[in-house]
């Protein structure tokens, strides 16, 4: 077998493995969408079908109209966007300090403390955070979820932005200072536009983390007015039965906003992941 044949065989094997990986990743979403478009009779049948025999929007109508699922989508958008903006504001300033003043003892200690905080499972902090939110009288409100989600994403967001700041030459800051810019103005008008892909990537991470979180949303919120979308999916699971059609339709509605955001911001997201990989 010559070199060209071996190369073609290797490429064929690589493409086959990639195709299997794509099927493995996409099949759960396809099954969720197809189940949401099936009738109750077909969903409860003994033989599962990969393709709906008769398409129906009954499940989506029941979820959006009867259960008023748009309220939960709105609540998740409010919480996720607020946590995203707040975490970006804090992480940008903290990441700049970590990058430019890393030799200071206080910065080294803070860096180590934030790294140690990432090693603690979130479930261990559930009870302490619940007590804190109760004492602050902010349970059953957006503020409890916003504070919890922001607290958990700030360390990783700070580390990601710190690496992005490391890739920005200090000479840009020095040139801006010679032109009379203060430090905050230099960050906002000179450095941040260069770091736009990294900022979008970090913001997308914070948004998706808050959108998909279930545990704190389920414990901190018990009223319909402030319930977010992931705990709301549990409403379709009863004591003795499960509304699979409604649950699949609600899951599709929960996935669509994140998928659309990722499609439109994918270019910035990939650029942000690669921005801190190569320095110099």
| pLDDT tens digits for range 243-268 | 888 889 999 999 888 888 877 777 76
Q: What is the DSSP string of the chain?
A: --HHHHHHHHHHHHHHHHHHHHHHHHHHHHHHHHHHTS-HHHHTSSS--SS-SS---HHHHIIIIIS-HHHHHHHHHHHHHHHHHHHHHHHHHHHHHHHHSTTSHHHHHHHHHHHHHTTS-GGGGHHHHHHHHHHTT-SSSHHHHHHHHHHHHHHHHHHHHHHHHHTS-HHHHHHHHHTT--HHHHIIIIIHHHTHHHHHHHHHHHHHHHHH--HHHHHH--STTT--HHHHHGGGB-SS-B-HHHHHHHHHHHHHHHHHHHHHHHHHHHHHHHHTTS--
Query: How confident is the model at residue 84, as a pLDDT?
Result: 94
Higher-pLDDT residue of 143 and 117 is: 143
Map out the domains of the chain as residue ranges.
1-56, 65-275
Average pLDDT of the segment spanning 8-21: 89
Query: How confident is the model at residue 166, as a pLDDT?
Result: 86
CATH architecture assigned to 65-275 = Orthogonal Bundle (1.10)
Query: How confident is the model at residue 278, as a pLDDT?
Result: 45
| pLDDT tens digits for range 168-198 | 888 888 888 888 888 888 888 888 888 888 8
Higher-pLDDT residue of 49 and 60 is: 60
């Amino acid at each position: 077998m010559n070199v060209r044949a071996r190369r073609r065989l290797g490429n064929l094997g690589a493409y086959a493995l990639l195709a299997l990986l794509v099927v493995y990743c996409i099949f759960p979403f396809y099954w969720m969408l197809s189940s949401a478009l099936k009738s109750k009779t077909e969903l409860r049948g003994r033989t599962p079908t990969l393709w709906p025999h008769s398409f129906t929007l009954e499940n989506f109508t029941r979820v959006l109209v009867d259960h008023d699922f748009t309220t939960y989508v709105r609540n998740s958008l409010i919480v996720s966007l607020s946590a995203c903006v707040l975490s970006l504001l804090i992480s940008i300033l903290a990441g700049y300090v970590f990058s430019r003043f890393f030799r200071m003892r206080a910065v080294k200690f803070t860096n180590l403390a934030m790294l140690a905080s990432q090693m603690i499972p979130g479930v261990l902090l559930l009870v302490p955070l619940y007590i804190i939110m109760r004492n602050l009288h902010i349970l059953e409100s957006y503020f409890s979820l916003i504070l919890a989600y922001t607290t958990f994403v700030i360390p990783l967001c700070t580390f990601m932005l710190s690496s992005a700041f490391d890739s920005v030459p200090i000479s840009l800051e020095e040139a801006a200072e010679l032109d009379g810019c203060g430090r905050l103005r230099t960050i906002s008008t000179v450095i941040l536009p260069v770091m736009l892909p990294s900022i979008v990537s970090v913001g997308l991470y914070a948004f998706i983390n808050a959108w998909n979180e279930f545990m704190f949303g389920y414990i901190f919120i018990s009223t319909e007015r402030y319930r977010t979308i992931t705990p709301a999916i549990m409403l379709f699971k009863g004591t003795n039965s499960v509304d699979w059609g409604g649950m699949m339709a609600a899951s599709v509605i929960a996935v669509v906003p994140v998928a659309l955001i990722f499609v439109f911001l994918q270019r910035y997201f990939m650029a942000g992941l690669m921005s801190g990989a190569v320095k110099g």
